[in-house]
Amino acid sequence: MEKTAVFKGKFLPYLLLVPQLVITLVFFYWPASQAVWQSFLREDAFGLNSEFIGLENYQALLAQPEYYKSMVTTLVFSSLVAALSLSIALLFATQADKNLKAAPTFKVMMIWPYAVAPAVAGVLWLFIFHPSLGTMARPLRLMGFNWNPMLNGNHAMALVVMAAVWKQIAYNFLFFLAGLQAIPRSVLEAGAIDGAGPYRRFWTITFPLLSPTTFFLLVVNVVYVFFDTFGIIDAVTGGGPAGATTTMVYKVYADGRLGGDLGGSAAQSVILMVIVIALTAIQFRYVERKVQY
């Protein structure tokens, strides 16, 4: 029989929850409520004087073509980063799960990028692909490719996507590898005995059993792309050129911190929070149906 934890005091379980509840209230619910309230105000650049204006910040925001452009940019950026980071990490995890002599070294090297801060990751990729100083810029020019992410919006988007994917692959790799190692070998051996090849075994046995891990990583990657890639974009392109890499989270910073529009920036953060919550809810409502636990 399985042992169950029995608390001596009636209030001990609730007492153990207090630290987590305090952290959640202080660092999530309180800032979120402040942002919602601030979105209804008109404030000066220093936040010293404020005036209640209702929904005017939202009306002004939804009348800006630049805001809809940032939505499209965020959609393209998030789709590319999530799809590439998940697929590449799954490929690397399946190779690391094989009985190879160098598998331990390969696993350690794959985990290293996770320890790099987003801004540092952006600077590393900028040094590699800088049009004047980058080690890869000259070979690209010799091949006839006029690489310049400082002036070309498509090149800038490709650069920030590569940096964001590289940063996230390590995280996805860890969970995919753990999921692969949890699959019973007997199940795969039974498929091989039945005549299924490696490709068919992966799609009919391995990948369905990885669906809980894949679903979890899908949710985490959406949150990562919408929020945690700010440091990469700020370090690499600063939202440029001409707003080509200005995502929704970067526009919140640009309008609030750089533009001094605190009320409009708060309204953007509220809309962004609602979008992320809606996407997460949709994933749990429709995508989780295909997850096999």
Per the listing, tokens 């509840």 go with: 21
pLDDT tens digits, one per residue of 197-222: 888 888 888 888 888 888 889 888 98
- Of 116, 73, 256, 90, residue with least CA distance to 178: 90
The reported pLDDT for the residue numbered 5 is: 65
Per the listing, tokens 């992966």 go with: 202
The reported pLDDT for the residue numbered 291 is: 66
Q: What is the mean pLDDT of the chain?
A: 86
- Domain positions in the chain are 65-289
- Of 145, 124, 95, 139, residue with least CA distance to 236: 124
**How many Å from the N-terminal Cα to the C-terminal Cα in the chain?**
23
The mean pLDDT value for 56-77 works out to 91
The reported pLDDT for the residue numbered 190 is: 86
pLDDT tens digits, one per residue of 142-193: 888 888 888 899 999 999 999 999 999 999 999 999 888 888 888 888 888 8
pLDDT tens digits, one per residue of 234-280: 999 988 888 899 999 999 998 888 888 888 889 999 999 899 888 88
Distance (Å, whole) CA 90 – CA 177 = 8
pLDDT tens digits, one per residue of 226-237: 888 999 999 999
The reported pLDDT for the residue numbered 2 is: 55
pLDDT tens digits, one per residue of 29-54: 998 898 899 889 888 777 678 888 88
The reported pLDDT for the residue numbered 283 is: 81
CA 43 to each of CA 66, 204, 263: distance values in angstroms, whole numbers, following the listed order: 22, 57, 6
The pTM score is 0.86
The mean pLDDT value for 82-92 works out to 93
- Of 84, 238, 240, residue with least CA distance to 164: 84
pLDDT at 65 over 70: yes
Contacts of 131 (CB under 8 A, 6+ apart): 137, 147, 148, 149, 150
One of 1.10.3720.10, 1.10.760.10, 3.20.20.220, 3.40.50.620 is the CATH number of 65-289, namely 1.10.3720.10
Residue-by-residue DSSP string for the chain? -------SSSSHHHHHHHHHHHHHIIIIIHHHHHHHHHTTEEE-TTSS-EEE-TTHHHHHHHT-HHHHHHHHHHHHHHHHHHHHHHHHHHHHHHHHTS--TTHHHHHHHHHGGGGS-HHHHHHHHHHHH-TTT-TTHHHHHHTT----TTT-HHHHHHHHHHHHHHHHHHHHHHHHHHHHHTS-HHHHHHHHHTT--HHHHIIIIIHHHTHHHHHHHHHHHHHIIIIITHHHHHHHTTT-STTTT--HHHHHHIIIIIT--HHHHHHHHHHHHHHHHHHHHHHHHHGGGG---
pLDDT tens digits, one per residue of 109-133: 888 888 888 899 999 999 999 888 8
pLDDT at 80 over 60: yes
Count of Cβ atoms closer than 10 Å to residue 31 Cβ: 11
